[in-house]
Amino acid sequence: LLHTFSSNAKTNFQASEGIYGSFGYDLSTPALGIIEAEPGVFYVIAVNGGQHDQGGIWKFDVNGSGYSKVAYYDTLPTGGVGRNPNSPLIKGPNGDLYGVLIDKGELNNSNDVGHLYKVNLTTQQLEYISDLESDIAGWAITGPVCQIVYNSDLNKIYGTKETFSGG
């Protein structure tokens, strides 16, 4: 469900309608916010549903095409980019969207450090970008948390992590 709010003034918004949609392997439980990637085209992370109940990303185009599934989260060993989204999508280089997943879903891997992925808006596919593992002065840094941000002047994406071990 996508709600719209409209107003004649800049401060008094009222809910004006709810827009519904569905598609195969329904994605559910929208989380982590909504982003307008292009005028009238919104992308949302769902944390449940999909082919393997790992969630995914759907979009809604208010200009006519309505709801569509972009991709499902799935484990790397089966061709996916990973699972357990942990940040809202942001607009980054070339206008594509970026997010962070907590783990790849690899079997027998208890050291998931999180990784960055991209929603390629041209192909409408998810792409694995990079692990987020860091080693600074002997300290292992894992566990991405919160929102990431893009600095277009430096062409860098920044984020925070919560777990430090070693020393």
Instruction: Answer whether residue 91 shows pLDDT above 90.
Output: yes
Rounded to two decimals, the pTM is 0.78
DSSP H helical ranges for 34-98: none
Instruction: Answer whether residue 159 shows pLDDT above 90.
Output: no
Instruction: Answer whether residue 6 shows pLDDT above 90.
Output: no
CA distance 53 to 28: 9
* More confident position, 125 or 74: 125
The tokens 């082919």 sit on which residue? 51
Question: Which value, to the nearest 10 degrees, does the dihedral of the CA atoms of residues 64, 66, 70, 74 take?
Answer: 180
Instruction: Answer whether residue 4 shows pLDDT above 60.
Output: no
3-state secondary structure of 93: helix
